[in-house]
Every structure is written in C-alpha cells, then in structure tokens.
Structure 1
Amino acid sequence: MPSSLHAEFALPELSAGFSDRAPLWETVIPAGAHWSGILRRGLALRIVDLEGGANLAAVFHRQEDQLERYNMADTLKAQHTAHLTRGHALHTDMGRVIASITADTLGWHDPLGGVGDAALFERKYGVKRYQEHRNDMIRNGRDSLVLELAKYGLGARDLVANVNFFSKVSVGEDGSLEYVPRHSQAGAALDLRFEMNTLAAFSTAPHPLDPQRDYAPKPVKLIAWRAYAADARAPEDDLCRTSCAENGRAFTNTDRLFA
C-alpha cells in the first residue's frame, strides 16, 4: 500500500467559475442538527469542520436499492485498517464502492465508535426538549439519523454501522477504544467522492465516546462539486482504486453496475 495513503494532503482548489471543480451548491449543517440528500455518481462533497471539534456521523445507502449500504466490516478488513483517510474507499455489502476519500487534511476518521442514542445522551448531558429549549434542544445521533432515513422510507432497522468524520478513536492492544480529544481543528476538511447514486444521512451530534460533559456539538459545512461525469468513472490510476487489490476489484464491480 502506498506510503502516501495516510499522509496529510492539501485539498484541490475549487474554482468559483465554470470548471469541473466549480461548486454546485453548499450548505451548513448546524451544531447538533441533521441532514440528508441524494448524491449522484461522480459528485464530491468537501466536508469542512468550521470551528474545530466537530463530529459528523454518516450512513450511506445506494439510492436505487436501499438494501445495499456501506459496510464497515468489509471496508476495514479489505483495506487492513482501523481508521479512514485519503485513499480509502467505503465498501458496500455487495462488494462495490459507494464512496471514496480523495483528499484529507486530517489523516484519521473514525469508523468504529458508532453513534449515541437517547439514553446515553440523557446520562451524559441531561434532558433539553424542543418544547422548552427550541433549537437549543439536545439531539442524539441515532435518532437524528433515523429521522433522516425515515424521509426515504427507511427505519431504525436500516441504521447500520456509521462513519464518524473528524473524530479519532485509537484501539488498544486489548481491543479497548479510546477517544482522542481535540483531534480536529477549525478548517480541517476532506473530499468524499460518490461512486454510486447515494442516499447520505448526516448528524452533527457529539461522538458517543467524547468524554466532555457539556453538550457542545459543532457545525459542519458541505460544498458539492463534480469530480467526474455521471456517465464516466474514477480514473484507472486513481489512488482510491489502486491503493489495494480489494479496492480495484470493488471499483470494477461498481463500474459494471453503471456500464
């Protein structure tokens, strides 16, 4: 595997004018909020930690067949890793690639820590309901993702293992998980390119292993741009495609789906 795979990497410049890298749209997911959308094959998202300390929980389903979705176990074992960064691909449970990390200034994103539910957040942060606190209510990651999936006819049983962008969880020799505080600084960013038409759901609720006792989620910015045409495919020499043989086969399976 190339040694540059885990290196910090400057993000390509996005043009304000007409070009393949001209932004198509952008939005901010507020602190403690949630968002979802259909992201077409060849589209890329630049995901930016605006203030530092963000956590973006994410789940991904293939739009045309929502039973196919991101598979954490296959993603990690295929690439012999316990974290995600530039050059890694997100595999589905059908042996295909749903998205790829093509650029990353941070070098480590957590695929292991999961997402916090209502009981965990109540124990850590107490209760703040919308009726009394309006937009200052406490939202947990699990319910946020389920709410977004429900917009597309999915439910709690469709919520599988997620990715936590901007968070770092180290794994001890005994298999224990340790959250690393202050991992992401303001301006940290990655580019996530979609290799399928994808239903993506996001939550900016805090990471479930974050030891901070105050509820202090952070906002995240999304900037969409076109990485390649929807009727094209990732280049043959693309790092995500060539970083390991398993990725190459998964890209081939994906390309055949859209041939």
Structure 2
Amino acid sequence: MLIESPLDPRDAVLDEICPAGEAWMGTVRKGQTFRIVDLEGNQAVDTLFYNAHDAEERYSATDTIRRQGRLYLTTGSRLISSEGNVMLTITADTCGRHDTLGGACAAESNTVRYALDKRPMHSCRDNFMHALNACGCAHHLGMSKRDITSNINFFMNVPVTPEGRLSFEDGISAPGKYVEMRAEMDVVVLISNCPQLNNPCNAYNPTPIRLLVWDPV
C-alpha cells in the first residue's frame, strides 16, 4: 500500500549515504523511525535486523511471511523475529512491494546462476561478512558469519512463477522511492547495498542509497 511519510529529512538525527555496492551497519532504538531511500531507482537493498541486546533474536522470514499471510512487504507489514516478537512495523512506503524470498547473492550463487567466472565478483554475503568484522556493535554482540540468515530485499522485484519458481525481474522502484519503518525494539540493522551486476535487480548498475533516522515525535 502506497503511503507517504510526514517526516522531514531536516529533522532526522541520522542522515547518511551508503555508496553503491557497499555495506552499512547501525543501531535504531525503540520508537525511532528508519527510512531507506532508493536514490536513483531499481536498487536492491538486502537487509537484516537483530535484537540490539541479543543477536540470537533476529528477523525471521518464515515467521514474517506466516504472520502476514503474504510474501511481500509494504505499509502495515510487521517484521517478526525468530522469537515471535514484532521488531519493526512498516509505516510508510512509496514503492509498494518488497521481496522476502530472493535472499542475498554470494560467490556460490553467482557461480551456479550465471557462470564460473562470476565467482570472484563482489556479493551481498561479502558485504555482510565485512560489516560483521568491522562494526563494533557486531563484536559486542559476538556476531559472526553464522548470523547471516534469510534477508529482506527492499525495492527488489522477485515474482513467484505459476510453477513455484522465483524470477529475478526489473525493479518496480524509481528515483526517490522509500520505505520507512518504526522500531518496536532496539535493533541492529545490517545492510548490503547490493553490488549485483548479473540480473536486473539493480538495473545492471548499482547505485547509492540514503539512510535516515528520526527520534519519536
């Protein structure tokens, strides 16, 4: 459901750009609102969420899909944790649909899906692992590559075919589209601003995204 936000970027307590193909990791406190902006359009944003006090509790694709009764996320969707708790609620969305099934690209999947010579290409799993090694909050929580689980792909278009297969299609986003969510607990956010060049999820051209956080009004 397309809903615009009343929040003004000039009032944000965090306003950062995540460059094309790079990772970002940070903490959003309970009650704060977090926005991801697709600056140039058709950019997939692979995202994971963790309880900021116990990383064993994290976003669960299975529980989120089951509780919503639908595969795709938009305004009103609640992101459910592995413990059955609501982590975040999507409060505004100008794109309209976000993927829960496509997962994150990796050296192995690039090889299987595309070609052997694609194995060295940068991937979302590489980004996740780099952020976990570099970020102080990940070290504090004792996080490692074992904590990389099934992620959300904001702005990514992954239809399910009548045969039950996934199809990676051209994105449905556009420059300036955004998704906004309210944290229902303190969460650590782990993002790979997808570097994929082999399918149309990024229009074959990864671009930067903008990340904003507001305190509760």
Provide the TM-score with structure 2 as the length reference: 0.87
Relative to 1, partners in 2 of residues 1:142 and 1:12: Cα closer, same or farther, differing over 3 Å? same
Measure how far apart 1:212 and its partner are. Answer: 7.3
Please state how far the C-alpha of 1:194 moved relative to its aligned partner. Answer: 1.1
Give the partner amino acid of 1:139.
Answer: H
Letter in 2 for 1:223: L
Q: Measured at CA, do residues 90 and 164 of structure 1 come closer, stay the same or move farther in structure 2, by a change above 3 Å?
A: same
Aligned to 1:142: 125
For residue 126 of structure 1, report the CA deviation from its aligned partner: 5.2
Change (3 A) 1:56 1:167: same
2:194–2:202 contact (8 Å) kept in structure 1: no
Gaps of 5+ in 1: 1-6, 17-21, 130-137, 229-259
What is the root-mean-square deviation of aligned Cα atoms in Å? 2.5
Aligned length: 209
Q: Report which stretch shifted further, 49-58 or 207-216.
A: 207-216
In structure 2, give the amino acid aligned to 1:29: C
The structure number with the bigger radius of gyration is: 1
Structure 2: unaligned runs, 5 residues or longer: none
Aligned residue identity for 2:15: E
Distance in structure 2 (CA, Å) of the matches to 1:183 and 1:202 = 20
Corresponding residue for 2:101? 112
Aligned counterpart for 2:151 among listed residues 162, 173, 187: 162
Query: Per-residue displacement from partner, 1:48-93 (whole Å, max 9, x unpaired)?
Result: 1001111110011101111000000000011101100000010001
Q: Secondary structure at the match of 1:222?
A: strand
Structure 1 Cα separation of the partners of residues 202 and 181 of structure 2? 31
Distance apart, 1:180 and its partner CA: 2.6
> What does 1:1-259 correspond to in 2, within 5 Å?
7-14=1-8, 16=10, 22-121=11-110, 123=114, 138-150=121-133, 151=135, 152=138, 153-206=142-195, 210-211=199-200, 216-227=205-216
Query: Which AA in structure 2 matches 1:205?
Result: C
Distance 1:182 1:62 in 2: 30
Separation (CA, whole Å) in 2 of partners of 1:213 and 1:13 = 27
Q: 2:17 & 2:117 partners in 1: Cα distance?
A: 26
Contact 1:116 1:142 in 2 (8 A): yes
Is contact 1:115–1:208 with CA below 8 Å preserved after alignment? no
Change (3 A) 1:142 1:225: same
Q: Tell me, what secondary structure is at the counterpart of 1:103? A: strand
Per-residue CA distance 1:84-135 (angstroms, 9 max, x = gap): 0000010001110111110000110001000011234465695698xxxxxx
- Compared CA separation, residues 23 and 80, structure 1 to 2 (3 A): same
Structure-2 change in CA distance of 1:15 and 1:182 (3 Å): closer
Aligned partners of 1:61 and 1:70 also within 8 Å: yes
Q: Percent identity?
A: 33
User: Deviation of residue 13 (structure 1)?
Assistant: 3.5
Greater CA drift, 60-69 or 219-228: 219-228
CA distance in 1, matches of 2:207, 2:9: 27
Within 2, Cα distance between the matches of 1:191 and 1:92?
18
Match of 2:102, SS state, is coil
Aligned residue identity for 1:162: N
Greater strand share, 1 or 2?
2
